[in-house]
Chain A
């Protein structure tokens, strides 16, 4: 595709439910990042993938958060037992290896009721 895509664009869930957020990076971009943006705030780094491995998971806020990447392409961010404080926009970005420019997707707006 032409850019990074994410799905769903919006997700409303009830507290305690699990959610899965998907990211399709730009073809050929081996680096993939997940960030979280709370209302009116900056972006908070969650996890970094190089290929299918995640050498930096330092931003995951708790063990309820996990992510995987398969085929060096699609990535899924899973949040288990969602809490209201998980409500935010989850953004995915990809880049060429070693490149400083990251290309962001439109994000998934997660609302936990």
Chain B
């Protein structure tokens, strides 16, 4: 089967740093993406890793270790607006279809 594991909930305070982990077990692997979804909203793309290492985009960074089937999303200088669900997703094949994790609900507290 195919599965992606993420913590269900994470709580942090404004200004802090939080890391959301994702471990995956899939039949194919072409890359790991992260999406943000505010309550009732459309998922929006945050980052993509095809190769091992760290990708940085502003306050957000994403890491991938293909040998460990593991990745994480790092959010720095947390803001209240970062409260949302975060999904990791594996690009599972040449069609670019995404296999999503169950999501991590991040609550940022003042």
**Contact A42-B42, Cβ < 8 Å, known A100-B31, A100-B48:** no
Complex Cα–Cα for A33 and B99 (A): 12
Q: Which listed residue, B33, B42, B43, B87, touches A100 by the CB 8 Å rule?
A: B33
Contact-residue size bin, chain B (C-beta under 8 Å from the other chain): 20 to 34
B1-31 near A? 1/0 per residue, CB < 8 Å: 0001000000000000000000000000001
Count how many pairs of residues, one from A and one from B, have CB atoms less than 8 Å apart in the complex. Answer: 61
Asked whether A56 is an interface residue with its Cβ less than 8 Å from the other chain, the reply is: yes
Q: Establish whether residues A42 and B91, one from each chain, have CB atoms under 8 Å apart when the complex forms.
A: no
Contact-residue size bin, chain A (C-beta under 8 Å from the other chain): 20 to 34
**Contact A48-B95, Cβ < 8 Å, known A91-B42, A100-B33:** yes
Complex Cα–Cα for A42 and B108 (A): 21
Q: Which listed residue, A4, A42, A100, touches B96 by the CB 8 Å rule?
A: A100
Q: Which listed residue, B95, B100, B103, touches A55 by the CB 8 Å rule?
A: B95
Q: Which residues of B contact A103 (CB under 8 A)?
A: 45
Asked whether B59 is an interface residue with its Cβ less than 8 Å from the other chain, the reply is: no
Q: Establish whether residues A44 and B97, one from each chain, have CB atoms under 8 Å apart when the complex forms.
A: no
Hey, which bits of chain B sit against chain A, CB under 8 A?
4, 31, 33, 35, 41-45, 48, 50, 87, 89, 91, 93, 95-103
Q: Which listed residue, B4, B42, B97, B103, touches A45 by the CB 8 Å rule?
A: B97
**Contact A56-B43, Cβ < 8 Å, known A42-B100, A100-B33:** no
**Contact A91-B95, Cβ < 8 Å, known A43-B100, A101-B48:** no
- Closest residue of chain A to B43, judged by CB? A104
Q: Which residues of A contact B100 (CB under 8 A)?
A: 35, 42-45
Complex Cα–Cα for A17 and B86 (A): 34
Q: Which residues of A contact B35 (CB under 8 A)?
A: 104
